[in-house]
Amino acid sequence: MEELDPASYLRANENKSQAYSFPPINRWRLPCHLHGNRIYFAPGWEEKLQEIGLSQGRRWDTIEAGEAIAINKRTRTRRITLSGGEVVYFKRYLMFGRPFRFFLRPGQAAVEIYSYRQMKKLGLPIAEPVAVGEIRRWGSLFAGCIVTREIPGTVTLREYAAKEWIILPAARRRRAYTDISATICRHLQTMHRHRFFHFDPKWRNILIRPEADGGSAGLWWIDCPRGRRLPAWYAEHGRVRDLASLCRRALSFLSRSQRLRFLHAYCGPEASRADIKRLARKIDRFMQPKMPKIHKLSTNS
């Protein structure tokens, strides 16, 4: 079989991209297309995003506008301020060296769109996606991208906990914890009741809008490239995985009794202590192969 050269393929398709309205990604998460460079825009956003190079007939896999927020081997996220003052986040996935990983199935950017739509149907607050694109060659994925609008005045839960919550007076800290944990618990219950699972609800993927008194004025879910619905017989795995992702960072901030109380609130008043402890043991076993380093942070009294 002819070896696929991603760089040469992207150059060859530089002037072949097409602009489409948002694709109807169905419940089976089938790929939006099988060949070519396609970009899908939310209504009213095609013209706005042309200034950063995201448009028909132009390569978008090399966009370097704005400020780099996160960069690793395959994923790069940039914060870009448009001429009209609107701020967007442009995230691209590069599949160089692994073109068959998403062969005949949607890539991470397309799955994010699917996940955002599922959560929006459930009434959960999310980042608003405004564009998504994929570059494919006969079913093999070479690159994907997604653009979302910034939610003003927000920080990640991880940043909020480490820089703001930790220094609050004890009473305000308890009140903020109660409000935020109750919101997260309610959102997770809604997702899981409909058998939808985020699969990556780490603290960095939850946005908080802090108030002047240290509390929270809102909570949003972002970055969901693995979200999916699961059959009833496999739903328990999804529950444990989502709860374990939340628990990893909580080990550094919350006591075991606080984590057990969260699980009790999640499971509901009908759950027994034995049920709660059984679920806690499943979460511990799930984290065991990659147990996070615990940096217990001191709080003022």
Cα torsion 187, 220, 247, 147: sign: positive
The length of the chain, given as a count of residues: 301
Across the chain, what does the average pLDDT equal? 83
Average pLDDT on 158-181 reads 91
* Domain 155-290: homologous superfamily in CATH: Transferase(Phosphotransferase) domain 1 (1.10.510.10)
Coil, helix or strand at residue 259: helix
Residue 19's identity, in one-letter code, is A
CA pair distance 129, 117, nearest whole angstrom: 9
What are residue 81's DSSP bridge partners? 87
pTM, to two decimals: 0.86
State the SS3 of 260-279. Answer: HHHHHHHHCCCCCHHHHHHH
Average pLDDT on 13-35 reads 54
Give pLDDT tens digits for 131-148: 988 888 887 888 888 999
**Lowest mean pLDDT segment, chosen from 6-20, 113-127, 162-176, 199-213:** 6-20
Give pLDDT tens digits for 39-77: 888 888 988 998 888 877 677 777 888 898 888 878 889
Tokens representing 218? 């809102």
With CA atoms as reference, report the closest residue to 242 among 206, 294, 293, 278. 206
Per-residue pLDDT, 14? 47
Ordered by start, the domain boundaries in the chain are 6-149, 155-290
**Lowest mean pLDDT segment, chosen from 1-5, 120-124, 192-196:** 1-5
